[in-house]
Structure 1
Amino acid sequence: MEPAVLRDDMVDSLEHEAKAVVRSDQVSVAMREVPRHEFVEDDRGAYADTSHRCLGTRVLAPSTAARLLEALDVEADHTVLIVGAGVGYTAAVAAEIAGSCNVHALDIARSLVLEARSNLADAGYGEVLVDRRDGADGLPEYAPYDRILLEAAAVRPPDALLDQLDDDGRLVMPQGASEQSLTAFDADGEAEELGGVAFAPLLVDGEQVDAVERNRTAREDRERARREAQSRHGWQRDWIDWEDR
């Protein structure tokens, strides 16, 4: 079956009242245009409503991506920052709406940055800028942004991302640790909860799957395992004073 037909079937199912995660014309049209098979190795499986694994990260199911995009409410010519680019699919849908040159994406894993760049180019969105950065720092060189999407969980929005939001902007993220809610913030930090989600935590440098580590002794390995068992990861660690990082 032709990919365009599979895309239409996929979006039709996401619009159906059984799921009802695609509600707006802009998200519907964009998801029908973006060739999702360029971002998922299994051409036919790309249009099933399931998640996939790639280079140590989860490729969001279409219904999850749709929820994020509907919450983000991107419009034509908006400037958009995607934190946690992954394989690039969400950035591609945002680029279809706002224009490729208006979308910027970050990931902390170099392997995913290269994957996203390649996938976006193959899909026709090569003008999307994808950079390797610590997501909590954002991308201040191109701020302010009308929309910021954080595709990883944190106990609260990183201050740098709120600072990079336009006065009328909107930041969407999974908020929480063990229990998470998809939450939209305005530039003043006022929050609107949009339902439960489950995302991996926002990582800090050294926690990504392709981080370089030196050789450790057996004792260090035991100590590291003990600390890991007793601590949370990245932005789940709400006791850290992130403003002084």
Structure 2
Amino acid sequence: MDPAVLREDMVDSLEHEAKAALDTERVALAMRDVPREPFVGDERVAYADRATEIDGTTVLAPSTAARLLDALDAREGHSILVVGAGVGYTAAVLAEIAGTENVHAVDIDRNMVYTARRNLSETGYGGVLVDCRDGSRGFPEYGPFDRILVEAAAIRPPRALLDQLAEGGRLVMPIGTGGQTLTVLDPDGAAVERICPVAFRPLLVEGQQPGRLERNRTEREEREFAERDAQRRTGWEREWIDWERGR
């Protein structure tokens, strides 16, 4: 079947009252324009409403992507940061809304950065800047941002990301570790709106490598392990923290 027809059917389904995943006309129009199959690689998978794994990263189900984009409320001309570029699909939809040169994306996985760059270039969104860096630190060289979208979960929004929000800006991300809630936050870190329960992978920080067999610690766990270890030590030993303990 023609991918354009599949794309229309996908968006029509997301707008259906039963799913209630897509309410914003700007997002619907952009999702109708941006092809998913170049990012996913298989038409049958691209337009099915389910998540899929590519090179160790999760490509969001269309309904999940739609909820994120709806919550972000991006507008034409907005400066946008995507934390967790993945295969680049979300950044492409945002580029369709805000303008290619206004969208920036980061990912801690260098391989995914290359993948996102290639996919964006091949679909006409090569102007999106994708860089390899610790997403919890944002992209200060290009801030402040009107909108920041974080496609990974944390117990609280990273301070650096809040600092890079423009006045009146909004940050959208899953908040929580076990039970997560898709949350809209203001530059002060206050929850403006709690959207729905979600299940995302934890936000990785510098030094954590995706794809390792063992589970990566979250930033909160690193801090708690360090504090516990420090409390067990005395004297000069308190200066030394065994970060590998308990991995």
Length-normalised TM-score, structure 2 = 0.87
Distance 1:87 1:202 in 2: 16
Which residue of structure 2 lines up, in the alignment, with residue 88 of structure 1?
88
1:5-84 aligned at under 5 Å gives the runs: 5-84=5-84
Which residue of structure 2 lines up, in the alignment, with residue 237 of structure 1?
221
1:128 aligns with 2:128: yes
| Stretches (4+) displaced over 4 A | 238-241
Distance 1:55 1:233 in 2: 20
1:188-227 aligned at under 5 Å gives the runs: 188-191=188-191, 192-209=193-210
How much is the aligned-residue C-alpha RMSD, in angstroms? 1.8
Length-normalised TM-score, structure 1 = 0.87
Deviations 1:61-101 (A, max 9, x none): 00000000000000000000000010001101111000010
SS in 2 for 1:17: coil
Do 1:52 and 1:58's aligned partners in 2 also have CA atoms closer than 8 Å? yes
Do 1:201 and 1:235's aligned partners in 2 also have CA atoms closer than 8 Å? no
Q: Structure 1: give runs of 5+ residues left out of the alignment.
A: 212-223
- 1:110–1:196: structure 2 CA closer, same or farther, 3 Å change rule? same
Which residue of structure 2 lines up, in the alignment, with residue 145 of structure 1?
145
Do 1:78 and 1:98's aligned partners in 2 also have CA atoms closer than 8 Å? yes
The alpha-carbon deviation at position 187 of structure 1 amounts to: 0.8
User: Size of the alignment, in residue pairs?
Assistant: 224
**Could you tell me the percent identity over the aligned residues?**
60
The alpha-carbon deviation at position 237 of structure 1 amounts to: 2.4
- 1:204–1:74: structure 2 CA closer, same or farther, 3 Å change rule? same
Q: Structure 2: give runs of 5+ residues left out of the alignment.
A: 226-247
1:235 maps to amino acid:
E
Computing the radius of gyration from Cα coordinates, the structure with the larger value is: 2
Distance 1:108 1:40 in 2: 20
SS in 1 for 2:29: helix
